[in-house]
Amino acid sequence: MKGNVMKPRAFVFIAASAVLFLAAAPQPSAQQRTKTPDWTPWRFLLGEWVGEGGGEPGQGVGGSTFALDLQNTILVRRNLAEYPATANRPAMHHDDLMIIYQQSGSTRAVYFDNEGHVIQYAASVSPDGTTWTFLSEPQADAPRFRLVYTKETADSVRIDFDIAPPGKPEAFSSYIQSRTRRK
């Protein structure tokens, strides 16, 4: 046959190639096919916050941002704190990143900072929507951490960061207390 008519063997080759291509293409996993997380209980925290606070590291200033990212599939908190020098230590710069995500019906978070800490948290919101709690799992040989944001006004939040010693997972002591206001 002449002209633009496709020969049967060429058609079979193209069809087989298309089937192989589609079969080899990455398919979304069940986890990837889930709907976009519902961040409604977390929306109050979205935006930029500035604040001052004190605690074990001393009196500090800083701020944080909460922003949805990756097409609203994660919530990202970036935090910065500056602590001036004291008689016992030099000035300190602390910054951290926390990624909050929803998976299998629960909210989790992973925290990283410039001091090399990595903390895995279970995250929750109080029934009245005014308290956001991040709680690490207890480990026999490591401290346990609790980070709590409590809404005080329409534009302010109290932040408490508590640490429990190894072997005493419920014996939390205050490490940092601060207040932030929406910028």
Give me the pLDDT at residue 15, please.
Answer: 47
Q: For residue 30, how far is the Cα from the chain centroid?
A: 22
Tokens of 17: 């190639």
Q: Indicate the Cα dihedral angle 120, 75, 47, 117, nearest 10°.
A: 20
Q: Residue 123 to residues 27, 100, 110: CA-CA distances in angstroms?
A: 30, 8, 10
In a domain, 23, yes or no: no
Q: How far apart are CA 2 and CA 165, in angstroms?
A: 84
In a domain, 17, yes or no: no
Looking at residue 68, which CATH number applies to its domain?
2.40.128.20
C-beta separation of 160 from 174 below 8 A: yes
Q: Return the sign of the alpha-carbon dihedral for residues 143, 146, 63, 71.
A: positive
- pLDDT digit string, tens, across residues 39-94: 999 999 999 999 866 555 567 789 999 999 999 999 999 999 888 888 888 998 99
- pLDDT digit string, tens, across residues 104-163: 999 999 999 999 999 999 999 999 999 999 999 999 899 999 999 999 999 999 999 999
Average the pLDDT over 156-182 and give the result: 95
Give me the pLDDT at residue 152, please.
Answer: 97
Question: For the chain, what is the domain count?
Answer: 1
In a domain, 112, yes or no: yes
Residue numbers of the domain that contains 146: 40-182
In a domain, 45, yes or no: yes
In a domain, 21, yes or no: no
In a domain, 31, yes or no: no
In a domain, 87, yes or no: yes
- pLDDT digit string, tens, across residues 8-41: 555 444 544 544 454 555 555 555 555 789 999 9
In a domain, 177, yes or no: yes
